[in-house]
Amino acid sequence: MHDPLVRSAIFTCSFSTWKVREDSKLWTSCSSLMQFIEEAINLCTPEEVQFCDGSEEEYQHLCERLVKKGTFIPLDSVKRPGSYLCRSDPSDVARVEECTFICSRLQEDAGPTNNWKDPEEMKVLLLKLFAGCMQGRTLYVVPFCMGSLGSSFSLVGVEITDSPYVVCSMHIMTRMGISALQHIQSNFIPCLHSVGKPLQPGEKDVLWPCNQEHRYIVHFPEERSIWSFGSGYGGNALLGKKSMALRIASVLAKEQGWLAEHMLLIGITNPEGKKKYFAGAFPSQCGKTNLALLCPSLPGWKVECVGDDIAWIRKGKDGCLYAVNPESGFFGVAPGTSYASNKYAMQTISHDTIFTNVALTQDHDVWWEGLTKTPPIGLIDWKGGAYHTGQPAAHPNARFTVKVEQCPILDTHFKDPEGIPLSGILFGGRRASMVPLVYEAFSWSHGVLIGACLSSETTSAAAGHVGKVRHDPFAMLPFCGYHMGDYFAHWLRMGHDSQTMPPIFCVNWFRKDGEGNFLWPGFGDNIRVLKWIFERTEERGPAVSSPIGYLPAPGSLDLTGLSIAEDELFALTLSEWQQEIRECREYFALFGEKMPKELLQELDHLEKRIYESSSTASK
């Protein structure tokens, strides 16, 4: 028998389009789900409960509710049909890494790169925060599926949240509602989320409730559950994304022999019609969405998008790697996106899109830095005030949330549960110096070293300092749910038993000249680098060996029509590399006994190659 409170919530909910009566069997047949809901209701004491069915009607109804409240501003129905602007609280604009925890039973299992607290202590703390936290609000129950519905590789979660903005976003970013519920059986990942702002009787709600004082994004990898408190923004609150599809999934992946990665997935077709798929790991705000939606500047080449942020990769029977994108939407960075830089991204967001923290134009359309050269007159900034030159119009981490189906270059295999076969893996970061435009690893283990050594300038995707170079191994620093040393070992293991692993490349679109200008035009011109990579995987792209890996042979990178300082893009300053290696060795010392010896040997080999070439050069 369920708690009387739950029964009353189920059967007397005031929400008019609530479908639970017809679907009640589906909801109640899973006793672990009913127990989760019951406990959440008892703990959080909401005023209302809504079981979300994932229908279009429900989405529209929630949007209307948010418009009525003032949280959503409808955009012009001709210029941007079906779209809304939402402004978050200025204190809640990005992922909060210092408040993100991996609460494994042993601290050793979370490793030195994750915040950790004893799971029982953390539960005590969370239970206090969640007690009564949904007072005066609606508790939404959101079943969702990461991956194709019905695929044995998919993961089902149930997010309980008090944020209708989160529910709307989950509608876009995941397969959610009844269709996900049908695949629950008894196995789902419970995700409890609250903005952490209970309403006292009669208290008027703010437009973006959140809790600035107490913020926690907590993962219990053994229990496989997620608790998030105090933030309503992005990865802090849409728990299917970074929390489930990366942090929890990475733990499952290690146990089950697959990979859950922070990667985009694209298909590239050459002018002869040959198609190959590639995955690319880049830290937050380092170009995944833009590469995933690339509009090639070279004639005859075509890029199609499978995913822009997360890839789950498995070994097929043939020993090759196959990848799926578990998401169903893009949560993309708005600033910098324009018809000039990324036509397909612009087409994708031309309608039915939620924009968060962008600027509003006089005619009720959106604007952000980089959309046009100069801001339009009468602009309202992301905080809702008049725009002043010199102040940001959009927040640098302003985002669009949109269904993948709206993408004009969506790959036909994007839903294929078997995944797409990978012909190559790219790693890239934001590095103003030292790292050349592109190079290729000598072997799988050398490639794993490149991933492990990845460093990048910090960006506004996470709260804190921007522009500081930090280690971000495999672009997974904030997303790996276990010990990073074990993660490196897992990557090495994936490549050990076969010669079927794809080659690994490193790219850097962000190298700068002495005046601080990017040396490489980037965006659509990145196809030139992809072309070289594509041809390398055909064994016909010419390359030269260097101490750090294979570089494009002179003339083999297609720079037709560009006037570019190629030498600067590829210049190797060996003393800088020696410094980088010392840095990496120090970093790897963090991982103690768990640091794979094989990677340390790879680092020694790299150092030796650099030393030898610098001594030859000085002869």
Nearest-approach distance from CB 454 to ligand SPV, in angstroms: 14
Interaction partner, residue 335 (ligand SPV, Mn ion, ligand GTP, none; CB < 5-8 Å by kind): ligand GTP
For Mn ion, give the closer residue by CB, 138 or 243: 243
Using the rule CB under 5 A, which residue among 169, 289, 423, 455 binds Mn ion?
Answer: 289
Interaction partner, residue 241 (ligand SPV, Mn ion, ligand GTP, none; CB < 5-8 Å by kind): ligand SPV
List the one residue out of 405, 382, 404, 408 whose CA is nearest residue 393.
382
Token pair listed for 424: 């190559």
Nearest-approach distance from CB 349 to Mn ion, in angstroms: 13
DSSP-derived 3-state class of residue 207: coil
Interaction partner, residue 523 (ligand SPV, ligand GTP, Mn ion, none; CB < 5-8 Å by kind): ligand GTP
Cα–chain-centroid distance for residue 45? Answer: 32
Angle between helices 20-28 and 31-44 in degrees, nearest 10: 110
For ligand SPV, give the closer residue by CB, 461 or 595: 461
For ligand SPV, give the closer residue by CB, 219 or 241: 241
Known catalytic residue at 286: yes
Work out whether the CA dihedral 358, 402, 473, 566 comes out positive or negative: negative
Nearest-approach distance from CB 458 to ligand GTP, in angstroms: 12
Site for ligand GTP, rule CB under 6 A: 282, 284-290, 308-309, 332-333, 335-336, 341, 461, 509, 518, 522-523, 526
Interaction partner, residue 518 (Mn ion, ligand GTP, ligand SPV, none; CB < 5-8 Å by kind): ligand GTP
On whether the CB atoms of residues 329 and 354 are closer than 8 A, the answer is no
The b-or-e profile of 135-162 (16+ CB within 10 A means b, else e) is bbbbbbbbbbbbbbeebebbbbbbbbbb
Site for ligand SPV, rule CB under 6 A: 95, 234-235, 241-242, 284, 309, 331, 461
Which secondary-structure segment (H or E) carries 522? Answer: none
On whether the CB atoms of residues 485 and 592 are closer than 8 A, the answer is yes
For ligand GTP, give the closer residue by CB, 45 or 290: 290
List the one residue out of 398, 395, 393, 399 whose CA is nearest residue 378.
393
For Mn ion, give the closer residue by CB, 332 or 503: 332
Choose one: 115-123, 286-294, 413-421, 570-578; the region binding Mn ion (CB under 5 A): 286-294
Nearest-approach distance from CB 107 to ligand SPV, in angstroms: 24
The residues in 303-362 that bind Mn ion, with binding defined as CB under 5 A, are 332
Whole-angstrom distance between the N-terminal and C-terminal Cα of the chain? 84
Which of these is catalytic: 286, 295, 305, 453?
A: 286
Nearest-approach distance from CB 101 to ligand SPV, in angstroms: 16
For ligand GTP, give the closer residue by CB, 198 or 235: 235
List the one residue out of 95, 123, 91, 301 whose CA is nearest residue 206.
91
On whether the CB atoms of residues 327 and 371 are closer than 8 A, the answer is no
For ligand SPV, give the closer residue by CB, 308 or 365: 308
Nearest-approach distance from CB 171 to ligand SPV, in angstroms: 16
Return the HEC string of 345-378: HHHHCCCCCEEECCEECCCCCEECECCECCCCCC
Q: What number of other Cβ atoms are within 10 A of residue 374's Cβ?
A: 6
Interaction partner, residue 169 (Mn ion, ligand SPV, ligand GTP, none; CB < 5-8 Å by kind): none
Burial of 417 (0-12, 13-18, 19+ CB in 10 A): middle
Task: Give catalytic residue positions.
Answer: 286
Q: Which residues sit at the interface with Mn ion, rule CB under 5 A?
A: 288-289, 332
